[in-house]
Structure 1
């Protein structure tokens, strides 16, 4: 088991969260507490880079939805980037691939083009 690690950086299009390890019931509070502290302006895009995510349960999915709702409330966009295959499968089963733009790389564009993922 890998502990959850989240790094935050600013990009020209908005904040980028890089999420590593396991996003589950035991660790999800860290992401849930971080989300409301993110400053988003209308038109920005919040990127959640999941390239280092090893595991995500329903609690983790709930935190991703909270991030989506936070972005929407700020009139900003959100995208998931570099989603591992095992997490992408879960997103598709839950239908969340229909609400999240999913980019195959860690650098999705602001225009909404998700790279065809």
Structure 2
């Protein structure tokens, strides 16, 4: 009988907590941070700390590249909302880029697409209920 780790999924695969794919890329007026993995409760504390650390009043725009984010739960959403609130207090716009269909739909269902600036990946538009 084998034992599965706490991070194992029902299929027996281990989920990968969200990580920063590369250091923040600073450009004049904006910063880009690429994430991959799962935006979940396991990743939330370290992710929150890292993202708040890249906010700079000199940058007017923080772009989060979510092209390689596999999934997001309520803890991941809380990180995004908290980041948005802190950024807004500093006069910084947070833009979510390349959000996949699942994340785009989650943001729509929770109403966070009205709070967060979302640039979806091509073909990832949320389907509206008729």
Q: Normalization by structure 1: what TM-score?
A: 0.81
Equivalenced residues, count: 107
What corresponds to 1:64 in structure 2? 80
What corresponds to 2:106 in structure 1? 90
User: Cα deviations across residues 21-59 of structure 1 (Å, max 9, x unaligned)?
Assistant: 011011111111113212322660111111110010000
- Residue 99 to residue 42, structure 1, CA distance change in 2 (3 Å): farther
Q: CA–CA distance in 2 between the matches of 1:62 and 1:3?
A: 15
Report which of the two structures shows the higher radius of gyration computed on alpha carbons: 2
Q: CA–CA distance in 2 between the matches of 1:81 and 1:39?
A: 17
Q: Normalization by structure 2: what TM-score?
A: 0.74
What corresponds to 1:81 in structure 2? 97
Whether the 8 Å contact between 2:39 and 2:71 is mirrored in structure 1 is yes
What corresponds to 1:2 in structure 2? 16
Q: CA–CA distance in 1 between the matches of 2:59 and 2:50?
A: 20
Higher relative contact order (CA 8 A, sep 6+): 1
- Residue 57 to residue 102, structure 1, CA distance change in 2 (3 Å): same
Which ranges of structure 2 fall in alignment gaps of 5 or more residues?
1-14
Deviates more, 1:36-45 or 1:1-10: 36-45
1:99 aligns with 2:108: no
- Look up the SS of the partner of 1:82 in the other structure: strand
Which ranges of structure 1 fall in alignment gaps of 5 or more residues?
106-116
